[in-house]
Amino acid sequence: MMNAQTHPWWSEAIVYQVYPRSFADGNGDGIGDLRGLIEKLPYLEDLGVDAVWLTPFYPSPLADGGYDVADYCDVDPRIGTLQEFDQLLQITKNHNIRVIIDLVPNHCSASHPLFQAALAAKPGSAERGLFIFRDGRGPGGDQPPNNWPSNFGGPAWTRVGDGQWYLHLFDSGQPDWDWRNPEVRQMFEKIIRFWLDRGVAGLRVDVAHGMFKEPGLPDLAVPERSNRPNAYTHRPEIHELYRTWRAILDSYDPDAFPGARTAVGEVWADSPPTLQPYLAPGGLPQVFNFELITSDWKAASIKAAVDATLALAGGSRAPWVLGNHDVLRPVTRLGGPARARAAALLLLALPGSAYVYQGEELGLPEVLDLPDAARQDPRFFRTKGKARGRDGCRIPLPWSPAGPSYGFSRTDNGASPAPPWLPQPEGWGAYSAEAERPDPDSFYNLYRAALRLRRSHPALGLGRPRGTGTVRWLDAPPDALVFGRDPGFVFAANLGDDPLPLPPHEEVLLASSPLVSSDGAPDGALPPDGAAWLAAAPAPVPPTVCQMRTRAG
């Protein structure tokens, strides 16, 4: 299966990100769970995704939405059981959908038994050596050991009863592991194998630019959060670790389902060149590129973002993303549904792989007016409310136009479900799949049609010849994005204020907004914030069922 090795399934996969607590609740307790997810698999299959990435579902006190892991090898009882997880793997396999899980190696939960043991042990003990405990500075050691800030606000250190401090780059409930300790490495190798042995197709590596800290833990010149390399991000030591993880991934048979195993690093970088070392041969198979999240809605910025990424890697190794559970939803961030629809067509037309965060396909906006009393994000608390935090993109999904929690929670015997763990705004049901399905112009139908076309059109995904992963920018006004992919595909988006005549084409395959008439554009024009997929001369031979690419494994 040479082809599967050269172009493994993940190189052009559409991965759907599931935030389990907000996806679907199968037992009526107001918290999404594996049972709810299993029940909705036909929805995901019909939408046309290749894989799902589950954000943490492990036992957790939820100091940071589950990114504070108390047990890396189990399922939180509120979300399900290990048996249900195995059932999920079995059923997804039957639907030819792969499962990627979230690995959280930078830190665990303060209630992890090893951290509890470290707290109970003495300074200098082996137990404390798994974490980063230090004495403080100043008289009585009552100042933190250095000036590092927590990513959620406030200092990155918390003092314990005997006067020592421990490092947590995030919440105080998330102590950092000491990755220079070989025991930490061995423990994570076991964790990785535990899940790969069960049949997961890959890992999303949380804070993949973190983990190693500069020896001596020096002060930062400017003690601010940043995506630039510094004393605790993008340390060069990380790449040797990733080579060992890659060897583990590659030790699994690529010819048996789920195919070659992948790992995709969450690497927030100040610029694409900072990503480069992560893409060296033998490292992680993939790292996210967040360029479409950080770019503004300007043709020049997006073009530069796409070019910079493609110059480094292409979307197979650096998948495209418009949103996730950490950032404002695209409808709100980009400035309205028309732009988010155009951005979706851009995302799915770019070469390689892309991730879609649950609810993006429904056009969910960010919920901005969540009452403070309902908020859960530690960023809100640690900044004393200055940062609203990320709860607004994590509101439980609506599945029905009306009814309790808009169909998010299902109960047996018609009992009333508990309220959803984050309140849904009034009218949320208008975004439900059930409400959107009959409307041909809905977000849902745009995504569904785009995903179907993407799978059948030879220019999309990897494109032809397989794996070239290129886009050809075509002549266009400065506020337009127009590129070709081979064979016979043109993408056009209008980011300007006036209608954009469609570039030469044979057929409009899909448009994010209705075309408008415009002087000198007999075939119609794209309105501002509209995008279209076009078949260009020579028209591609429409694929027959037999020619359609299958989800090879």
State the catalytic residues: 206, 266
Residue nearer to ligand GLC on the CB measure, 203 or 345: 203
Round to whole Å and give the CA distance between 333 and 321. Answer: 13
- State the minimum distance, in angstroms, from the CB of residue 295 to ligand GLC: 19
Write the binding mask 430 to 469 for ligand GLC: x where contact by CB under 6 A, - elsewhere. Answer: ----------------------------------------
Closest CA relative to residue 345, chosen from 377, 320, 364, 328: 320
Which position has the token pair 């002549």? Answer: 475
**64 part of the interface to ligand GLC, by CB under 6 A:** yes
- State the minimum distance, in angstroms, from the CB of residue 64 to ligand GLC: 5
* Cβ neighbours for 541, distance < 8 A, ≥ 6 positions apart: none
Report 190-209 residues binding ligand GLC (CB under 6 A). 206-207
Report 154-193 residues binding ligand GLC (CB under 6 A). 170
Write the binding mask 249 to 268 for ligand GLC: x where contact by CB under 6 A, - elsewhere. Answer: -----------------x--
Ramachandran category for residue 191: left, alpha or beta (phi over 0 → left; psi -120 to 50 → alpha): alpha
Reduced to 3 states (helix: H, G, I; strand: E, B; else coil), residue 511 is strand
Residue nearer to ligand GLC on the CB measure, 291 or 326: 326
- Give me the phi and psi of 548, to 5 degrees please: -60, 135
- State the minimum distance, in angstroms, from the CB of residue 366 to ligand GLC: 15
In angstroms, the Cα distances linking 366 to 335, 380, 388, 477 are 11, 16, 12, 32
Report 348-387 residues binding ligand GLC (CB under 6 A). none
Structure tokens of 203?
């890992």
- State the minimum distance, in angstroms, from the CB of residue 266 to ligand GLC: 6
**290 part of the interface to ligand GLC, by CB under 6 A:** no
Helix (H) or strand (E) holding 321: strand 320-321
Residue nearer to ligand GLC on the CB measure, 325 or 341: 325
Which position has the token pair 């990114």? Answer: 67
Write the binding mask 97 to 136 for ligand GLC: x where contact by CB under 6 A, - elsewhere. Answer: -------x--------------------------------
- State the minimum distance, in angstroms, from the CB of residue 174 to ligand GLC: 6
| Count, residues near ligand GLC per rule CB under 6 A | 9
Among 12, 76, 84, 326, binds ligand GLC (CB under 6 A): 326
- State the minimum distance, in angstroms, from the CB of residue 326 to ligand GLC: 5
* Cβ neighbours for 355, distance < 8 A, ≥ 6 positions apart: 14, 15, 16, 17, 53, 288, 319, 320, 321, 324
Among 57, 67, 399, 421, binds ligand GLC (CB under 6 A): 67
Residue nearer to ligand GLC on the CB measure, 170 or 355: 170
* Cβ neighbours for 477, distance < 8 A, ≥ 6 positions apart: 496, 500
- State the minimum distance, in angstroms, from the CB of residue 104 to ligand GLC: 6
Distance in Å from the first CA to the final CA of the chain? 9
Round to whole Å and give the CA distance between 516 and 189. Answer: 56
- State the minimum distance, in angstroms, from the CB of residue 49 to ligand GLC: 20
Residue nearer to ligand GLC on the CB measure, 290 or 489: 290
* Cβ neighbours for 309, distance < 8 A, ≥ 6 positions apart: 272, 289, 291, 315, 318, 320
Residue nearer to ligand GLC on the CB measure, 302 or 321: 321
In angstroms, the Cα distances linking 472 to 321, 337, 469, 488 are 21, 27, 10, 12
Give the CB-nearest residue to ligand GLC.
67
Order of all β-strands in the sheet with 133-134: 133-134, 165-167, 157-159
Residue nearer to ligand GLC on the CB measure, 269 or 492: 269
Length of the chain: 553
Residue nearer to ligand GLC on the CB measure, 266 or 529: 266
Helix (H) or strand (E) holding 480: strand 480-485
Residues lying near ligand GLC in the complex (CB under 6 A): 64, 67, 104, 170, 206-207, 266, 325-326
